[in-house]
Amino acid sequence: MEPLLKARNLVKRYGRVTALDQCDFDLMPGEILAVIGDNGAGKSTLIKALSGAVIPDAGTMWLDGAPIEFSSPNDARAKGIETVYQTLAMSPALSIADNMFMGRELRRPGFMGNWLRKLDHKAMEDFARKKLSDLGLMTIQNINQPVETLSGGQRQGVAVARAAAFGSRVIILDEPTAALGVKESRRVLELILDVRSRGIPIILISHNMPHVFEVADRIHIHRLGRRLCVVDPKDYTMSDAVAFMTGAKEPPADVLAA
Amino acid sequence: MSNAENFEDVVKSRRDEKVAEFDLIEKNVFHRLHSLLHRTPALVPLIVLVVACVVFGLINANFWRISTLSLIFQQIGIVGILGIAQSLVVLTAGIDLSVGAMAVLTSVIMGQFTFRYGLPAEVAIAIGLAAGTMMGAINGVLVARMRIPPFIVTLGTWQVFLATNYIYSANETIRSQDIEANAPALQFWGTAFNFAGARVTLAVVLLIVLVAIMAYVLRHTAWGRHVYAVGDDPEAAELAGVPRKRVLIQAYALAGFFCGIAGWVMIGRFGSVSPSASTGILGNIQAITAVVIGGISLLGGRGTIVGMFLGALIVGVFEMGLRMAGADAQWTYLLIGVLIIAAVAIDQWIRKVSS
Ligand SMILES: Nc1ncnc2c1ncn2[C@@H]1O[C@H](COP(=O)(O)OP(=O)(O)OP(=O)(O)O)[C@@H](O)[C@H]1O
Ligand SMILES: [Mg+2]
């Protein structure tokens, strides 16, 4: 089977720091791929390259076998790749609805929308409300509440809801449960499984090994800016995975990346 | 006896209850006020404006005459339009020190293109507006693409535009009579009409219409939301798919366009085209004052054009009211100074949320 999203030899340097060092990447259709690695291993940089937020210095990427080059997150979004960034990428002073539709606002039909460019606030609010209640996040009272008045977990929930609502080809989640409580984390994991059942593959970055081993079909282990190996969670234990990613143990030759 | 004691006890405990309740109410009121201001920061200048109008009206009954009010509106016409320009830039978390210089230079361009090159006034006006837009775009490109801080960029272009204005015009004033005779279109916004017994100029109508248009654009169009997002958190905006640099350049360019309109309005207001008009030097400070008093945050992303408009009105009302009360003009500056600091203090408080 051909990977849906593929990258070879990605390089990204920040001054002296090499965040991505000849990194390879493969995402198979319909799978949940977990990406794990130490702090600073380059996981966020990798997914930023895949989502257009970082332009790699070198390397090639393919979507569905066709080479792709993104110059902004919008390019990736136009191809159906949605991302929840580690920083969440939300404007604190703007409302939940504003944030969910940032960069893809809905306009009113007819003259008001076409000629006066008037936004359809109501349609956007209704949509946002629906997506949040789907995610069980309707502890949020008011969809017009500024995002800064939400708790960290609620904010993360809104970001996840945004990605899940708009992602049509690939959904990338960079530590989506980091600020969430037990119950909310469960919801997000359920959402991830739900998205996969719709046939959309997911890239999940997480430091939470039980979560990773619970939902992942394959685990991409990232170390020192590159893919060290890809393992099947059924064949290895959590402590094996942690040992590989910290360098305490060498992965066996058959899973090592070329 | 025991009854009375009981009664006292009841009173005591009641009082405690009341105190606790009052505390709760007070906290609630405080919280309510906070979230209200958080949603509509323009309420603060509105309250100040109403109070000022009432007080000045009590001091001098003539204050409430429609002719006085129309005079206030005329006096804030230019500052108000420069304030719209400034608001756009400040909402993106920038600042534009060159607004006054752009206005004067465009008014000079409109005048000189008519009188030196003999172009029809309408064409000269269009060229002036285009030049204003260009100047604004230069600011925007330097801020967005060269990543130079807005304060520095516009501190530089302020001097450059102002010097260009003097050099190009040879510091020559175009007289009012000449404009009236040969190019009345330049003075268009000075045209007066009668409204409820008071003389009102078209410039006042223009200001109100422009405020309404920009309030709509910022609230009800995607571009307006993007301006707020870019000022709020530029990185987040970019990751969320807002073309940050393009929005910045557009905001500065549009600000330049509004300065061009202000330049045109200046000709109507003063009659003549004067390269040494005080707007070139003071326009930026006046516009920033209106913006700050109007509750727009200098840190970007918060506030409204309507707030700025109220801020400009407050300045006009203070000037007029104190003059009518026979106070030294310095009192105006003193009070405006206090208002500026109070406005920023309130902005800081509004920002302290979710705690
Ligand atoms: N914008 C940047 N400028 C400079 N250095 C950066 C930048 N972004 C990332 N880096 C560096 O690149 C390296 C990889 O960072 P990255 O954020 O990709 O790690 P990570 O695997 O996501 O870590 P974490 O688990 O802590 O999120 C780090 O050394 C980091 O300091
Ligand atoms: Mg990271």
ipTM of the complex: 0.91
Min Cα separation B136/chain A (Å): 24
Name the residue among A94, A103, A150 with its Cβ closest to that of B232: A94
- Answer yes or no: is A258 within a domain: no
pLDDT of residue B12: 46
Atom of ligand 1 nearest to the CA of A207: 25
Inside any domain, residue A136: no
Residue B8 has pLDDT above 80, yes or no: no
Mean pLDDT value of segment B293-298 = 94
Number of domains in chain A: 1
Note whether residue A206 is domain-resident.
Answer: yes
- How far apart (Å, rounded) are the C-alpha atoms in residues B151 and B300? 14
Alpha-carbon distance B352 to nearest alpha carbon in chain A (angstroms): 10
**Which ligand 1 atom sits nearest the alpha carbon of residue A225?**
14
Contact B237 A102 (CB under 8 A): yes
Taking ligand 2, which is a single-atom ion, which protein residues have CB atoms under 5 Å away?
A 44, 86
Query: Between residues B137 and B327, which one has the greater pLDDT?
Result: B137
Per-position pLDDT tens, chain A of length 258: 899 999 999 999 999 999 999 999 999 999 999 999 999 999 999 999 999 999 999 999 999 999 999 999 999 999 999 999 999 999 999 999 999 999 999 999 999 999 999 999 999 999 999 988 887 766 677 888 899 888 888 888 899 899 989 988 999 999 998 888 888 888 889 889 988 998 999 999 999 999 999 999 999 999 999 999 999 999 999 999 999 999 998 888 777 765
What values do phi and psi take at A101, rounded to 5?
A: -105, 10
Host domain of residue A174: 30-53+71-93+146-246
Is B32 near chain A, with CB under 8 Å? no
Distance, in angstroms, between A51 CA and closest chain B CA?
9
Least confident of A96-110, A143-157, B136-150, B265-279: A143-157
Tens-digit pLDDT profile for residues B13-57: 444 445 555 566 667 788 888 888 887 888 889 999 999 999 999
Burial class of residue B161 in the structure, from the number of CB atoms within 10 Å of its CB (0-12 exposed, 13-18 middle, 19+ buried): buried
Partner residues linked to A222 by β-bridges: A37, A227
Mutation for A interface: B225, B228, B350, most A CBs within 10 A: B225
**Residue nearest atom 16 in ligand 1 by C-alpha distance:** A42
What is the amino acid identity at position B114? T
Flag if A90 and B302 touch (Cβ within 8 Å). no
With bands split at pLDDT 50, 70 and 90, how would you rate the model's confidence at B180?
very high
Q: How many CB atoms lie within 10 A of CB B51?
A: 11
For residue A103, being part of any structural domain is answered with: no
Question: B149 CB near a chain A CB, below 8 Å?
Answer: no
Residue B1 has pLDDT above 50, yes or no: no
- Domain holding A204: CATH number? 3.40.50.300
How would you write A162-175 as a 3-class SS string? HHHHHCCCEEEEEC
Q: Which one of A51, A84, A100, A102 would you mutate to disrupt binding with B, by most B Cβ within 10 Å of its Cβ?
A: A102
Tell me the C-alpha distance between A248 and A200, whole Å: 34
A119–B222 CB contact, under 8 Å: yes
pTM for the structure as a whole = 0.91
Residue nearest to atom 11 of ligand 1 (CA): A19
Does A179 map to a domain? Answer: yes
- To the nearest 10°, report the CA torsion of B279, B282, B285, B289: -70
Q: Does the beta-carbon distance from B239 to A89 stay under 8 Å? A: yes
Q: Is residue A2 part of a domain?
A: no
For chain A, percent helix, then strand, then coil, each to nearest 5?
Answer: 35, 25, 40
CB within 8 Å: A118 and B221: yes
Residue A157 lies in a domain: yes
The CATH code of domain B44-347 reads 1.10.3470
Helix (H) or strand (E) segment spanning residue A256: none
In a domain, A232, yes or no: yes
Distances (CA, A) of B317 to A183, B73, B199, B286: 56, 9, 18, 14
